[in-house]
Amino acid sequence: MYMILSLPGTDILTPWAFSKHLEYTWTRAAILTQFVQAGSESSPCELDQRTPLLSSHGSLCTQSFGGTYSGHSNATSPKNMGHGDHVVDQVARSLYVGYRNNATMDPAWFAAVETICMLNGCAMIHEALDTQIMKSYIWLQTVDGSIQQVEQEIAMFCPMICHEVIQKGMGSSKNYAISLPQQVNPAVLSLILDYCRFHQVPGRSNKERKSFDEKFIRMDTKRLCELTSAADSLQLKPLVDLTSRALARIIEGKAPEEIREIFHLPDDLTEEEKLEPLKNATDDPRIRLLNRLYAKKRKELKEREKLKNVEVDEELVDDRSVDDLLSFINGDDGDSKGIKTSKSKRKNRRRKDLLKSTSAHEATKNHNKESNGLNSVCRSAEVGQILPGVDATTNLQDVEDDIFPNKNEFDDGDIDDEIDPTLKEKIDREVEDFARRLNSDWPERMQEILSLGQEKKPVHLSLNGKGS
């Protein structure tokens, strides 16, 4: 607007007239810019003289456009222009030149021109405007330095970008690209733009949006985390809500060890953890181990899901034996409730695997170490007499370290299909037996164990498949 006022030759107009002049001028300026541009490529443009735009400004425009114009790059004026046209011409040229030189062009100008055309029902002009020059793109720069342009309606869906455009006038050209916060790398930006592209369309139903969202958040946790951080920096609240809800679901019910693993955080017992009065698990190294093993187990189950159709020798972690045994012993600890519930869900399957794996297992080394750890635990529970004399080293860290290197020895393809029928029967029996034991009360179990110890080898505690 200021440009028009400052141009020489402008008539002094009443406010109404001025606004009309403005409308007119702007619109024509836009058209002319188009013409000039087109002219530089030597292609004619046609303009319908009956367009409402022109007639509504009849008082200012004594002559209407008509016929075909062929613009040219240093156009002074197209044929048959009205008396205000020299002003228009100059405005148009300034706009054009300014744009071509990539000076800061207020996108609001272009938007205003476009709006006026639309309001005046000039579909054809609107289309003519809707070219590379006039279409609103916003230029964005990510932290790695790369610059891209994005359709205005999509980019403006992000409040932060919207703010930059409207308040600071940024983003209209490559030189004035909006610097996105450092949390937004190109990959994450692409995801965010996908989200915006879908949701900025007004006509979608809630069901459609919800369905899109559910599919959208299916990504690995690390990426989800990055996305949350980026969306937050762009103040895109709906996406922050979506991603943080998903992350909350992932975190719920898990112990710190597991969560650390999922989020790739250094796996150290922190000072805070040692001193925290409200931490959930008892300060018991066995429980810590259990949780760590559960985390690893869960990861492996997930991987197994992925490789389901592929015949691969998968790693079987023999931690389940320790799991079962430890919680078997710890069964009635008040705080192991959580452990118990998640355990009970997978009891049968794990036990089957466990028994199968132990029967397949050849080396006794790992087994001895388990018994070791178990023995120390058992001793504390006063059932030491059950197990044969083994070194009473209470080093569960060793147990863990030994278990994992050995996992490659286990073959754990499709579980049930590969078991020999007689072996399967035996395993089923042992499973039932084991289930019975786990489900009965601790004192009764004690009795059974004690009596077992006198009869035969303690098969169930040591789970030595070879022994049966």
Partner 1 sequence: MEGEGEEQTSIWNKETVPKVMKIVSTRLGQRDLISVLLLSPWIHRTLISYPSLWLSIDLREMNNAGDRLIAALSLPRYQHVKQISLEFAQDIDDDHLEVIKSKCLGSLQDLESLNLNGCQKISDKGIEAITSCCLKLKVFSIYWNVRCVKMTDSGLQQVFVKCSFLQSLNLYALSSFTDEAYKKISVLSHLKFLDLCGAQNLSDDGLSCIAKCKKLVSLNLTWCVRVTDVGVIAIAESCTSLEFLSLFGIVGVTDKCLEALSKSCANTMTSLDVNGCIGIK
Residue 264 within binding range of partner 1, rule CB under 8 A: yes
List the structure tokens of 22.
């403005």
Residues 206-235 vs partner 1: string with x where CB under 8 A? -------------------xx-xx--x---
Strands 68-69 and 45-46: antiparallel
Give the shortest CB-264-to-partner 1 separation in angstroms: 7
Residue among 277, 389, 405, 443 that touches partner 1 (CB under 8 A)? 277
Alpha-carbon Rg of the chain, whole angstroms?
Answer: 37
439-442 CB contacts, 8 Å cutoff, 24+ apart: 442/331, 442/332
273-281, 349-357, 389-397, 401-409 -> range binding partner 1 (CB under 8 A): 273-281
Give whole-number Cα distances, 235 to 150, 184, 229, 245, 246, in Å: 18, 12, 10, 16, 18
Give the shortest CB-340-to-partner 1 separation in angstroms: 13
Give whole-number Cα distances, 197 to 31, 171, 243, 411, in Å: 30, 18, 17, 47
Tally of CB atoms within 10 A around 66: 13
Give the shortest CB-245-to-partner 1 separation in angstroms: 6
Give the shortest CB-300-to-partner 1 separation in angstroms: 22
Residue 279 within binding range of partner 1, rule CB under 8 A: yes
Hey, which residues between 335 and 374 contact partner 1 (CB under 8 A)? 335, 337
Residue 270 within binding range of partner 1, rule CB under 8 A: yes
Residue among 106, 151, 273, 428 that touches partner 1 (CB under 8 A)? 273
**CB within 8 A of 324, min separation 6: which ones?**
343, 347, 350, 351, 354, 434, 438, 463
Give the shortest CB-420-to-partner 1 separation in angstroms: 43
Q: Between residues 228 and 359, which has the closer beta carbon with respect to partner 1?
A: 228
156, 162 in Cβ contact below 8 A? yes
Helix (H) or strand (E) holding 112: helix 107-119
Residues 239-258 vs partner 1: string with x where CB under 8 A? -x---xx-xx--xxxxxx--
Residue among 12, 278, 310, 363 that touches partner 1 (CB under 8 A)? 278
DSSP 394: -
Residue 271 within binding range of partner 1, rule CB under 8 A: yes
Contact positions vs partner 1 (CB under 8 A)? 183, 225-226, 228-229, 232, 240, 244-245, 247-248, 251-256, 259-260, 263-266, 270-273, 276-280, 282, 334-335, 337
